[in-house]
């Protein structure tokens, strides 16, 4: 019996692969399991290959998992296009469409011999039972239920719910396809049982949602009343969620003509006194650069969500990467600091989005939330959110004496000035992108520019002291360390647990605040570190280089970086940690020898 199973499936557009993954995840949640589902597509507008991977476990899940336990290939050409995203090993059961004509001992997986290979006439079974090959995904679900112990009742309940509006005839057809798949599995048992053990939490209420919906829901909860944006993969669902729901809370959405207009409208809403937001991906972030500078010099609160994908330019629109860090931190001209935050899962996207609004409002600044395609698009099971734990911060507004000869950009002890809005009696001021004196009037004075630069940068000093924006796990005195953020952090959390189980003394730092760099937090963390890895999905090792700009890094700290669409696996990180341990031990060999 297994406590954890990772399924990977791939096929052509229209095969219903992602729909099958959804149904499998919903069934797992209904049975009390924890689950994560990621999906990946080709970059075509329509058609092309699609895949999903679903991880189901009796324990909380930190990432989509490593090598597949079960691989389903409806089409070998499509399956092979996903490469490292669907890794097959010697412990994988491979199920594939018999109609491909490939013999079980000749499947095109170079350099690996799977645990078991099974050819199944999936399309023929679908046609015979449901009258259409479009039921292939339902046959696959029947196979999975039969071979791996996923509750058949729960799976069919999910299928029925999804198809209910399309008529009972279609539901019954899919019931027959599902039963056929399950019967095939029963008639052809696996060489070794891979059933998953029953969950002890069956009956507990679990949410199933993705990072984009979680981000939008958190923004509305934080009080956001305006969204201005432009559709772009993989962030579009944030705008769609706002369109469906924000009007219920007195808010509005503008789908603008382009990325620049979208952020411009959001800045206008913030100037008018409303919490505002925009969302985009890498190409859109590039276009928004000048407007982000405007929000910085005008000291206007604004949240910008960048759901990272592979770049540069159009790059890999449907694949995840962490290569927008430099763009987020440095993409405005002039001397400016712009806070950058990053969630590590669907669940903590809610907290990080609220944190972004609180920081934007308190410090009167644009804040970037660096999500990524995996977090934004993947679905997770999670417990209902206790919203009472969150404190909502609103901008400091002028009152009383502040409105007598009101100075919008007044120098204060903490460098934060009360901010008015149009219509506030006595609160009129000039907001523009030109340098200004305390009242907002334009100036060309170098000395005033120096003081205003000081005001706009020094106000973030207290933000860098926020230790709650960093997560440190493991022995605080460990000599070996890892640093990871975003979706890679979940992989490293699992790698940490695996390494500790093997006796390695390792610790992990996960920053939710990426910029400005919190020198004190990192220096405390590095106090015991002799060897370590900065692990990230970016070819240029942007995180490692950003830290090196601001810190004296331990000599043994190195980069482990790679381009997007090449996911890290927990096992390979553990192997890298073993290598560090070996190097550390060799470096101390001389100290262990008796002295003459």
- Asked if 578 contacts 553 with a C-beta cutoff of 8 angstroms, the reply is no
Residue matched to tokens 């370590």: 532
Structure confidence by residue, pLDDT tens digits, 272-327: 999 999 999 999 999 999 999 999 999 999 999 999 999 999 999 999 999 999 99
User: How far is residue 83's CA from residue 412's CA, in Å, rounded to a whole number?
Assistant: 56
Tell me the two tokens of residue 324.
């927008």
- Asked if 170 contacts 163 with a C-beta cutoff of 8 angstroms, the reply is yes
What pLDDT shows up at residue 150?
A: 86
Q: In this structure, are strands 302-308 and 4-12 parallel, antiparallel, or unpaired? A: unpaired
Residue matched to tokens 């469906």: 244
Q: Residue 123 to residues 7, 152, 172, 490: CA-CA distances in angstroms?
A: 20, 20, 18, 37
User: How far is residue 263's CA from residue 229's CA, in Å, rounded to a whole number?
Assistant: 6
- CATH for 4-187, among 3.40.920.10, 1.20.1250.20, 3.40.20.10, 3.10.105.10? 3.40.920.10
Q: Where are the domains of the chain?
A: 4-187, 208-389, 396-461, 469-589
Q: How many CA atoms lie within 13 A of 23 on its CB side?
A: 29
Tell me the two tokens of residue 254.
């503008």
- 442 CB contacts (<8 Å, ≥6 apart)? 430, 432, 434, 435, 436
Tell me the two tokens of residue 24.
């499998």
Question: Fold match between 4-187 and 208-389?
Answer: no
- Asked if 44 contacts 9 with a C-beta cutoff of 8 angstroms, the reply is no
User: How far is residue 36's CA from residue 14's CA, in Å, rounded to a whole number?
Assistant: 22
CA torsion, ordered 446, 447, 450, 452, to nearest 10 deg? -100
User: How far is residue 146's CA from residue 126's CA, in Å, rounded to a whole number?
Assistant: 16
* CATH fold label, 208-389: Rossmann fold (3.40.50)
| HEC string for 187-228 | HCCCCCCCCECCCCCCCCCCEEEEHHHHHHHHHHHCCCCEEE
Residue matched to tokens 């019931």: 175
φ, ψ of residue 35 to 5 degrees: the values are -150, 150
Closest CA to 178 of 163, 198, 193, 195: 163
φ, ψ of residue 529 to 5 degrees: the values are -80, 125
Residue matched to tokens 């389903």: 72
Strand, helix or coil at 383? coil
Residues β-bridged to residue 533: 482, 558
User: How far is residue 100's CA from residue 108's CA, in Å, rounded to a whole number?
Assistant: 11
Residue matched to tokens 């120096």: 450
Q: How many CA atoms lie within 13 A of 310 on its CB side?
A: 16
Tell me the two tokens of residue 165.
């509006």
User: How far is residue 478's CA from residue 498's CA, in Å, rounded to a whole number?
Assistant: 15
Residue 401 CA to its chain's centroid (Å): 45
Tell me the two tokens of residue 549.
């700009």
User: How far is residue 184's CA from residue 195's CA, in Å, rounded to a whole number?
Assistant: 16
User: How far is residue 431's CA from residue 298's CA, in Å, rounded to a whole number?
Assistant: 6
Would the CA dihedral through 246, 247, 249, 255 be positive or negative? Answer: positive
- Asked if 34 contacts 60 with a C-beta cutoff of 8 angstroms, the reply is yes
DSSP 8-state assignment for residue 436: B
Closest CA to 287 of 272, 302, 310, 306: 306
| Average predicted confidence (pLDDT) for the chain | 94
What pLDDT shows up at residue 592?
A: 52
Strand, helix or coil at 76? helix
Residue 246 CA to its chain's centroid (Å): 23
List the chain residues with pLDDT less than 70. Answer: 44-47, 589-596
Tell me the two tokens of residue 406.
């009101």
- CA angle, residues 302, 214, 373, in degrees to nearest 5: 85
Residue 360 CA to its chain's centroid (Å): 21
Residue matched to tokens 């198809």: 163
Give first-to-last CA distance, the chain, whole Å: 58
Structure confidence by residue, pLDDT tens digits, 58-115: 999 989 999 999 999 999 999 999 988 999 999 999 999 999 999 999 999 989 999 9
- Which segments within 250-333 are labelled E, that is strand? 252-255, 276-280, 302-308
Q: In this structure, are strands 379-382 and 480-483 parallel, antiparallel, or unpaired? A: unpaired
Residues β-bridged to residue 341: 369, 513
φ, ψ of residue 97 to 5 degrees: the values are -70, 120
Angle between helices 236-245 and 211-221 (to 10 degrees): 40
Count of H-run helices and E-run strands, the chain:
20, 20
Closest CA to 295 of 272, 270, 259: 270
- CATH for 469-589, among 3.90.1150.10, 3.40.190.10, 3.40.50.920, 3.50.50.60? 3.40.50.920
Tell me the two tokens of residue 23.
């149904």
What pLDDT shows up at residue 424?
A: 96
What pLDDT shows up at residue 155?
A: 87
Task: Provide the 10 A C-beta neighbour count for residue 32.
Answer: 18
What pLDDT shows up at residue 594?
A: 55
User: How far is residue 461's CA from residue 440's CA, in Å, rounded to a whole number?
Assistant: 24
């Amino acid at each position: 019996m297994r406590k954890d199973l990772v399924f990977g499936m791939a096929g052509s557009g229209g095969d219903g692969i992602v729909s099958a993954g959804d149904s499998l995840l919903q069934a797992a949640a209904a049975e009390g399991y924890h689950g994560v589902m990621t999906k990946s597509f080709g970059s075509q507008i329509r058609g092309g290959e699609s895949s999903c991977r679903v991880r189901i476990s009796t324990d909380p899940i930190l990432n989509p998992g490593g090598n597949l336990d079960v691989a389903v290939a409806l089409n070998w050409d499509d399956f092979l296009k996903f490469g490292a995203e669907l890794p097959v090993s010697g412990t994988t059961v491979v199920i594939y469409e018999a109609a491909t004509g490939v013999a079980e001992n000749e499947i095109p997986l170079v350099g690996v011999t799977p645990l078991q290979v099974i050819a199944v006439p999936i399309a023929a079974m679908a046609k015979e039972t449901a009258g259409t090959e479009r039921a292939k995904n339902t046959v696959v679900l029947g196979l999975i239920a039969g071979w791996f112990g996923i509750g058949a009742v729960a799976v069919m309940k999910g299928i029925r719910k999804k198809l209910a509006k399309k008529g009972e005839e279609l539901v019954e057809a899919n019931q027959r396809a599902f039963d056929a798949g399950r019967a095939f599995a029963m008639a052809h048992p696996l060489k070794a049982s891979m059933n998953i053990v029953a969950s002890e939490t069956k009956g507990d209420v679990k949410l199933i949602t993705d990072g984009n919906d979680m981000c939008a829901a958190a923004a509305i909860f934080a009080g956001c009343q305006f969204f201005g944006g432009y559709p772009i993969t993989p962030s579009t669902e944030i705008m769609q969620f706002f369109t469906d729901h924000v009007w219920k809370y007195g808010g509005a959405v503008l789908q603008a003509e382009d990325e620049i207009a979208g952020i411009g409208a959001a800045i206008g809403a913030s100037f008018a006194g409303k919490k505002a937001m925009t969302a985009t991906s890498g190409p859109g972030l590039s276009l928004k650069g000048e407007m982000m500078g405007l929000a910085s010099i005008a000291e206007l609160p604004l949240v910008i969500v960048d759901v990272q994908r592979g770049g540069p330019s159009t790059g890999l629109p449907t694949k995840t990467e962490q290569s927008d860090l430099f763009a987020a931190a440095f993409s405005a001209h002039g001397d400016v600091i712009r806070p950058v935050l990053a969630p590590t899962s669907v669940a903590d996207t809610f907290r990080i989005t609220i944190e972004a609004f609180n920081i934007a409002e308190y410090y009167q600044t644009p804040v970037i939330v660096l999500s990524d395609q995996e977090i934004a698009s993947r679905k997770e099971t999670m417990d209902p959110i206790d919203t009472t734990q969150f404190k909502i911060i609103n901008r400091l507004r002028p009152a009383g004496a502040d409105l007598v000869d009101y100075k919008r950009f007044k120098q204060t002890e903490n460098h934060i000035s009360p901010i008015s809005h149009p219509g506030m009696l006595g609160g009129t001021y000039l907001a523009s992108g030109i340098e200004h004196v305390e009242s907002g009037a334009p100036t060309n004075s170098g000395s005033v520019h120096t003081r205003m630069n000081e005001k706009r940068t020094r106000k973030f000093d207290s933000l860098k002291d926020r230790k709650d924006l960093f997560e440190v796990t493991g022995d605080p005195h460990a000599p070996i360390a890892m640093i990871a953020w975003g979706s890679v952090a979940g992989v490293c959390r699992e790698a940490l647990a695996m390494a500790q189980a093997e006796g390695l003394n390792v610790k992990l730092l996960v920053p939710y605040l990426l910029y400005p760099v919190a020198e004190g937090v990192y220096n405390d963390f590095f106090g015991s570190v002799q060897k370590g890895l900065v692990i990230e999905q970016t070819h240029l090792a942007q995180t490692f280089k950003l830290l090196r700009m601001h810190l004296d890094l331990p000599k043994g700290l190195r980069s482990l970086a790679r381009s997007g669409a090449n996911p890290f696996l927990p096992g390979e990180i553990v192997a890298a940690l073993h290598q560090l341990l070996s190097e550390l031990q060799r470096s101390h060999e001389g100290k262990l020898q008796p002295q003459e």
